[in-house]
Chains A and B, each alone.
Chain A
Amino acid sequence: MLNNIIYLVLGIFVSYFLIDFIFFRKHSKRPILRTRLINILIMLAILISFYLVVKEMSVYLFLQIFLLNIVDLCVLALATTGIVLIFKTSVTTNFAQGTMATFGAFAAAKQLLRLSATTEYSMTTKLIMVMGVAALTSFLIGLFIDLAIIRRGRNVNAVGKQMITMGLVLILFGFMPLVFGTTPLTIEAFSYDVKIFNIGEMMLILPTHNYYVLLITIGLLGLLFLALRFTKWGLGVRATASNETVASMMGVNTRLITAMSWAIAGALGGVAAFLYAPVGAQITSTFMTPVQVNSFLSAVLGGFSTFGGPLVGALLINMFQSMASFINSVWANVIVYTLVLFLVLAKPLGLFGKKTAKKV
């Protein structure tokens, strides 16, 4: 199985160099052809390896694992979108995304503990209220971070801003035990039932919690994408992303847009952490770190230049993970990260990235 994939990757490498050497050597449009060839070969590689793995593990198992892993995918998609939103407006990769989100999850868990005494509301209502608390807390933290720090550090360069967000991680790490105590908290799932349905001869199991999570995620992301496409704020975000100075000169209130982006990214993170908490069992200050790392990788894999690309990246990483854990559960993460590394090496700006030419 693994051997087949290794042969495939090797074959693709060799065919790339052979085609490049034999057909494109004397061609006048060699660089363009090369990038096209890389695109096609990567597509082929991904499709063939998917086919191989799915054939090995059967379609049924593949779909079943996918359904069980849907929470991971949704959380990853939300977190990634937050990171991309911040990258678009502040040109920095936000390392504090996961920690901001964890703050929200802590607040939600505390609130849930307080509400648990009352019998006035049903469990689902409570959870939805608590989700609002998580979103609001992270929203406020994001807003505060922008107002207090990012806005003042406008003239800091990109790497400097990245380090500021790393500093934020440390500060939030330090504050969490002070504010919420050191006892680990938990958030309950929406429901512990499962739904069973049949497609053809296959009987698939979908936990109800996953179902809700999927609905919430699609709703939130759909709203966000509509806002980006049709509202003034969305236009502002796109203008700021393309050139902040020019946008502000053209009358776009870039300050407000950046602040709102931080706040909304925070809120998305908060919801993500809230949804992830029942899966991650206990809320600790580091429980979002794997999500954080994965969302960075999926953003890099998809490319920061579009909003849709990172989502595809998240989907790919999620599928890679489920397949890799089928092939070899011990080395699953290593396989996934290595694959992502190779893909990014082949396409440094991400699968959907656009190249901007540098003038000498």
Chain B
Amino acid sequence: MAKMINRALLKYHISKLTTLNHQLSFLEAYLEIILNAKQTKKDKTLMEMKKRHSEILEPLMMKAGIHSDNVETKKQDLIDQINKKYHWHFKALSQSKKRAMKKQASSDKINHFADKEAKMHQKQEEALQSLALRYTKDENNIAMHQSNYEINKTKLEQKYLTKQTKLDQKFALDTIKIKKNYSDRIERIKKAIEDERPLLKKYAKGLESATEIPQDVILRLENLNMRFGGLLAVDNLSFDVKKGEIFGLIGPNGAGKTTIFNCITRFYRPTSGLMLFRKNPVEVIHLNDYPVHNIIKQGIVRTFQNVELIWELSILDNLLVAAHTTYRSGFFGQLLHMPKLKREEEVMRSKALGILETMGLLQYQYMIPYGLPYGILKKVELARTLMANPKLIILDEPAAGLNDLETENLAHIIKKIRDDYQATIFLVEHDMGLVMDICDTVCAISFGKMLAIGTPTEIQNNPLVRSAYLGEES
């Protein structure tokens, strides 16, 4: 009885701690987003000001004969601009002349064109000369120009500096203000977390023996059976998946691999057997107790054999759907678009963009998945699993339909996800190259029965596995 109460209390405190941690990470992420936005705005203003100032200063510099590469290129640009403008004028003129010739107009008119052309040439010359005048060294009054330049330069620099200090001050003030707004809450949450920890330890102490599976095991299947009518799809299967490893499940077609996945993610109800999942260091749950839509909250996310994306939403929104369980705003908050929802959306969006960037999918963010190549869709599905802070990612044939290069890339990405997100990866795959390359442990099954479990090399040399794949040797 006492144990049960203890366990209930532990459960309560763990959920409280998770909520607090979530709030903390959310607030920190949002703070970062706001500050980043302010910083970029400030930088942009200053950049624009600098550009304006340099435009004023350049002709003065040239006049004073102070040499600079920048000014030379600027001058060349301006000359090009004038030339281009007159090039089009001449082209238009020649076109109308051609038309006039075609219509066999009077010689007066054709002469008129010649006049016009001459005038245009003159104008171009004038423009170029005036430009040269502006940009050439004025030998006679060089001292005057130099002093003029110096004065202007100091004036503008001062202006820039004052603006910069002003903006910096404003930014610092804003930062302090915003941080102060949030720091109270962050501190409160941090303190609550600190308060929570010893309690957790206290309750966990008595229960250490009660946690059924070893600390380094994240998922354990015990005597799992799944029966469809007369067919025994999974036959008394037991194995452990260790924390932080890449676990591969292989087997010939119809061996029951996807059925096992469907049992773990609760799409199917297993006929008998236990599925234990380590939700966190002190809590082990029975997956059978949770409905299918609550599995993601426990930290298990899956992909599908045939890509199941939301075809009417953009790639970015597809990722946001996977963050559904992490939203804390209620329905009325969403109905009225409360500021809390806006904040949450911003945080999730930046998180999704970050994930898309690491996967190299950023250029697809506003596209709908319909019509994109299969390799991209598979990657999007993988990216989607990362939105929900998973502890165990279940991949159902991630390399199906990919070419060799894409598969190689995928292997790299899977390893990177394991390292960056500290997630355990559990995959079914037919591509033996990929499985042998990335998996730490491989389990081979056939007709629902376990054949062998071990490192990839052990599996490769196992006679049972060979006979299952290649047929009985006679």
On A, residues with C-beta under 8 Å from B are: 28-29, 32, 360
Contact B262 A28 (CB under 8 A): no
Other 4 A-B pairs with CB < 8 A, given A28-B271, A32-B229: A28-B225, A360-B258, A360-B304, A360-B305
Residue B325 at the A interface, CB < 8 A?
Answer: no
Contact B262 A29 (CB under 8 A): no
Contacts of A28 in B (CB 8 A): 225, 227, 271-272
Contacts of B229 in A (CB 8 A): 32
Contact B227 A360 (CB under 8 A): no
Residue B374 at the A interface, CB < 8 A?
Answer: no
Q: B267's closest neighbor in chain A, by CB?
A: A360
Contacts of B225 in A (CB 8 A): 28
Report the minimal beta-carbon distance from A311 to chain B, rounded to whole angstroms: 29
What is the bound-complex CA distance between A29 and B305, given in angstroms?
Answer: 27
Contacts of B305 in A (CB 8 A): 360
Contacts of B267 in A (CB 8 A): 360
Contacts of A360 in B (CB 8 A): 258, 262, 267, 304-305
Contacts of A29 in B (CB 8 A): 227
On B, residues with C-beta under 8 Å from A are: 225, 227, 229, 258, 262, 267, 271-272, 304-305
Report the minimal beta-carbon distance from A146 to chain B, rounded to whole angstroms: 30
What is the bound-complex CA distance between A215 and B267, given in angstroms?
Answer: 51
Q: A31's closest neighbor in chain B, by CB?
A: B269
Residue in A28, A29, A360 whose Cβ sees the most chain B Cβ within 10 Å: A360
Q: B265's closest neighbor in chain A, by CB?
A: A360
What is the bound-complex CA distance between A29 and B229, given in angstroms?
Answer: 8
What is the bound-complex CA distance between A29 and B226, given in angstroms?
Answer: 10
Q: B227's closest neighbor in chain A, by CB?
A: A28
Q: B228's closest neighbor in chain A, by CB?
A: A357
Q: A27's closest neighbor in chain B, by CB?
A: B271
What is the bound-complex CA distance between A360 and B261, given in angstroms?
Answer: 10
Report the minimal beta-carbon distance from B304 to chain A, rounded to whole angstroms: 7
Report the minimal beta-carbon distance from A360 to chain B, rounded to whole angstroms: 5
Task: Sample 7 A-B pairs with CB under 8 A, ordered by A number.
Answer: A28-B225, A28-B272, A29-B227, A32-B229, A360-B258, A360-B267, A360-B304
Q: A358's closest neighbor in chain B, by CB?
A: B267
Report the minimal beta-carbon distance from A151 to chain B, rounded to whole angstroms: 26
Report the minimal beta-carbon distance from A129 to chain B, rounded to whole angstroms: 54
Q: B268's closest neighbor in chain A, by CB?
A: A360
What is the bound-complex CA distance between A315 and B406, given in angstroms?
Answer: 60
Report the minimal beta-carbon distance from B106 to chain A, rounded to whole angstroms: 62
Contacts of B304 in A (CB 8 A): 360
What is the bound-complex CA distance between A28 and B267, given in angstroms?
Answer: 17
Q: B229's closest neighbor in chain A, by CB?
A: A32
Q: B271's closest neighbor in chain A, by CB?
A: A28
What is the bound-complex CA distance between A32 and B231, given in angstroms?
Answer: 14
Closest 8 CB pairs of A and B: A28-B271, A360-B267, A360-B262, A28-B272, A28-B227, A360-B304, A32-B229, A29-B227
Report the minimal beta-carbon distance from B253 to chain A, rounded to whole angstroms: 13
What is the bound-complex CA distance between A29 and B225, given in angstroms?
Answer: 12
What is the bound-complex CA distance between A360 and B306, given in angstroms?
Answer: 8
Contacts of A32 in B (CB 8 A): 229
Q: B302's closest neighbor in chain A, by CB?
A: A360
What is the bound-complex CA distance between A360 and B258, given in angstroms?
Answer: 8
What is the bound-complex CA distance between A294 and B122, given in angstroms?
Answer: 91
What is the bound-complex CA distance between A29 and B231, given in angstroms?
Answer: 12
Report the minimal beta-carbon distance from A281 to chain B, rounded to whole angstroms: 49
Residue in B271, B272, B304 whose Cβ sees the most chain A Cβ within 10 Å: B271
Q: A28's closest neighbor in chain B, by CB?
A: B271
What is the bound-complex CA distance between A29 and B258, given in angstroms?
Answer: 21
Contacts of B258 in A (CB 8 A): 360
Q: B262's closest neighbor in chain A, by CB?
A: A360
What is the bound-complex CA distance between A28 and B224, given in angstroms?
Answer: 12
Q: A32's closest neighbor in chain B, by CB?
A: B229
Report the minimal beta-carbon distance from B312 to chain A, rounded to whole angstroms: 13
Contacts of B227 in A (CB 8 A): 28-29
What is the bound-complex CA distance between A29 and B262, given in angstroms?
Answer: 18
Q: B396's closest neighbor in chain A, by CB?
A: A360
What is the bound-complex CA distance between A337 and B267, given in angstroms?
Answer: 34
Contacts of B262 in A (CB 8 A): 360
What is the bound-complex CA distance between A29 and B304, given in angstroms?
Answer: 27
Report the minimal beta-carbon distance from A137 to chain B, rounded to whole angstroms: 42
Q: B259's closest neighbor in chain A, by CB?
A: A360
What is the bound-complex CA distance between A360 and B272, given in angstroms?
Answer: 21
Report the minimal beta-carbon distance from B396 to chain A, rounded to whole angstroms: 9
Report the minimal beta-carbon distance from B239 to chain A, rounded to whole angstroms: 22
Report the minimal beta-carbon distance from A203 to chain B, rounded to whole angstroms: 54
Report the minimal beta-carbon distance from B235 to chain A, rounded to whole angstroms: 13
Report the minimal beta-carbon distance from B263 to chain A, rounded to whole angstroms: 11
Report the minimal beta-carbon distance from A175 to chain B, rounded to whole angstroms: 36
What is the bound-complex CA distance between A28 and B271, given in angstroms?
Answer: 6
Report the minimal beta-carbon distance from A159 to chain B, rounded to whole angstroms: 15
Q: B304's closest neighbor in chain A, by CB?
A: A360
Report the minimal beta-carbon distance from A357 to chain B, rounded to whole angstroms: 8
Report the minimal beta-carbon distance from A65 to chain B, rounded to whole angstroms: 44
Report the minimal beta-carbon distance from A157 to chain B, rounded to whole angstroms: 12
What is the bound-complex CA distance between A273 and B225, given in angstroms?
Answer: 56
What is the bound-complex CA distance between A28 and B228, given in angstroms?
Answer: 10
What is the bound-complex CA distance between A360 and B264, given in angstroms?
Answer: 13
What is the bound-complex CA distance between A146 and B404, given in angstroms?
Answer: 47
What is the bound-complex CA distance between A28 and B305, given in angstroms?
Answer: 28
Contacts of B272 in A (CB 8 A): 28
Report the minimal beta-carbon distance from B428 to chain A, rounded to whole angstroms: 13
Report the minimal beta-carbon distance from B394 to chain A, rounded to whole angstroms: 12
What is the bound-complex CA distance between A28 and B232, given in angstroms?
Answer: 12
Report the minimal beta-carbon distance from B467 to chain A, rounded to whole angstroms: 28
Q: A360's closest neighbor in chain B, by CB?
A: B267
What is the bound-complex CA distance between A14 and B262, given in angstroms?
Answer: 32
What is the bound-complex CA distance between A28 and B258, given in angstroms?
Answer: 21
What is the bound-complex CA distance between A360 and B307, given in angstroms?
Answer: 10
Report the minimal beta-carbon distance from B255 to chain A, rounded to whole angstroms: 15
What is the bound-complex CA distance between A360 and B302, given in angstroms?
Answer: 12
What is the bound-complex CA distance between A29 and B227, given in angstroms?
Answer: 8
Report the minimal beta-carbon distance from B226 to chain A, rounded to whole angstroms: 10
What is the bound-complex CA distance between A32 and B305, given in angstroms?
Answer: 27
What is the bound-complex CA distance between A117 and B210, given in angstroms?
Answer: 97
What is the bound-complex CA distance between A35 and B229, given in angstroms?
Answer: 13
Q: A26's closest neighbor in chain B, by CB?
A: B272
What is the bound-complex CA distance between A108 and B416, given in angstroms?
Answer: 76
Report the minimal beta-carbon distance from B300 to chain A, rounded to whole angstroms: 15
Contacts of B271 in A (CB 8 A): 28
Report the minimal beta-carbon distance from B429 to chain A, rounded to whole angstroms: 18
Report the minimal beta-carbon distance from A28 to chain B, rounded to whole angstroms: 5
What is the bound-complex CA distance between A32 and B229, given in angstroms?
Answer: 8
What is the bound-complex CA distance between A94 and B41, given in angstroms?
Answer: 60
Report the minimal beta-carbon distance from A201 to chain B, rounded to whole angstroms: 52
Q: A357's closest neighbor in chain B, by CB?
A: B228
